[in-house]
Amino acid sequence: MTNSNGNTLYGLVLIGGKSSRMGTDKSLIRYHDVTQRAYVHQLLSQYCSKVFLSCNPSQRKELALPYIEDNQCEGPITGLLSAHEAYPDASWLIMACDMPYVDSTLLNILLQQRDNSKLATCFYLDNIEPLCAIWEASSFPLLKEYYQSGKRSPRRFLEGQDVKVITPSKDDKFKLRNINEG
């Protein structure tokens, strides 16, 4: 799919984390009939012309779904930058694998309220949520500069940028919880 700026919208499922708090690969947990990585891949495939898993090098050999390897493995920011490097003209619908309550209703809200004149469209809970968001292709040169300056937080990056913020309903706030929060 393309947006009105002509940018292709691809999906990226962030699975490459170390899962140190949970002690197991969060993307392999089954909250639905399939693993979380497969569920999110299927979910994003409803909206994106291509969907990739963002994986670390040790996960690559076990993947049957399309992936983009993150060789830096310094958190979600390097997964985002690896995706941009692979497809520099694409905008990205990003979703972390540890958000099992996100559904098509929530993604429809995100896509309907998308403002591709901004660097990103994201939800706002107590903070900006960068890992269930649309990152426009125009955001990546600035994100790369931010990363090269030694900073690693996608949330803090977006807090300092011109982004479209969506305030979700109480029910939708619950859907945006990640499994590290319970």
pLDDT per residue over 79-95, tens digit each?
A: 999 999 999 999 999 99
pLDDT digits (tens, 9 = 90+) for 18-71: 554 545 677 878 788 898 999 999 999 999 999 999 998 888 888 889 999 997
Per-residue pLDDT at 53: 95
171 burial via Cβ count (<10 Å: 0-12, 13-18, 19+): exposed
Per-residue pLDDT at 143: 97
Per-residue pLDDT at 5: 47
Per-residue pLDDT at 86: 97
